[in-house]
Amino acid sequence: MTIEYLKSVLAHVSQTDGNYRSLYKPSIVTHPIPFFGNLESAIILTVGVNPSNGEFTPDRWPDKISPEDLYIRLKNYFHNPCKAHPWFYGWNQALQQLNEDFTYYKKTVAHTDLSPRATISMTRVHDKLLFKQMLEEDIKFLFKVIECSKNVKLIMTGGKVLREFYIAQWIGKHASKPIVLEPIKKGVGATSFYKLKGFDWDVSVFSSNVSPSCCVRLLENVHANRDELRRILK
């Protein structure tokens, strides 16, 4: 992941953000976040819908930040003086089922989203069509992040987009050729396995019906499939 790439995300958001201002909480200053953690060393990449605006409390982020400082902050997100957003706790707990070395804090796991924009909570969005339009416009950056994550063997997703499509399904639905999401098999419980093809290498994808917001159920889903997940990560 290069600073030039980050600058391209910032430019895209700056040029298009006027279309989506109604999706933001007016009283909060946010910054685009295309990734959290060290993509170069990550073996697992977790994927959500978009960053929480709860990330941007006054004591956590300045109102203005240079692209260079933003890049450093995001790459070292899990080692900053400010603690990571509590949302990541659920994935960290679930990933411990696979290997104690798989954690954001050991730089073996990183995170990205379908959109880098920290809007209001997806559950509170009134204009669902506009929110979908935002995701459709921004998802190209997700594929750029994956392309930059050369060591990633496994993408892990949890939950749905607006209670309609699982995140993995959304990725497959909006992938542009040559990228395709190929179903592999149903997992144990409400889970599925896929292959994301079209990069220099194929990436396995694990889909859970619940997100880290349902920490216990996510942990159960990962635990129930841990033998297959460990096989992928060998």
Q: Does position 1 have pLDDT exceeding 80, yes or no?
A: no
The tokens of 45 are what? 């990449």
Question: Per-residue pLDDT tens for 56-97?
Answer: 988 899 999 999 999 999 999 999 988 999 999 999 999 999
Q: Which domains does the chain possess?
A: 3-233 (3.40.470)
Sole residue written with tokens 């050369």: 150
Residue 27 pLDDT greater than 90, yes or no: no
Minimum mean pLDDT among 47-51, 60-64, 218-222: which range?
A: 60-64
CA distance linking residue 101 with residue 123, whole number of Å? 33
Q: CA–CA separation, 118 vs 134, rounded Å?
A: 11
Q: Which tens digits make up the pLDDT trace of 160-172?
A: 999 999 999 999 9
- How confident is the model over 93-143, as pLDDT tens digits? 999 999 999 999 999 999 999 999 999 999 999 999 999 999 999 999 999
Question: Mean pLDDT over residues 194-208, rounded?
Answer: 97
Has residue 18 got a pLDDT over 90? yes
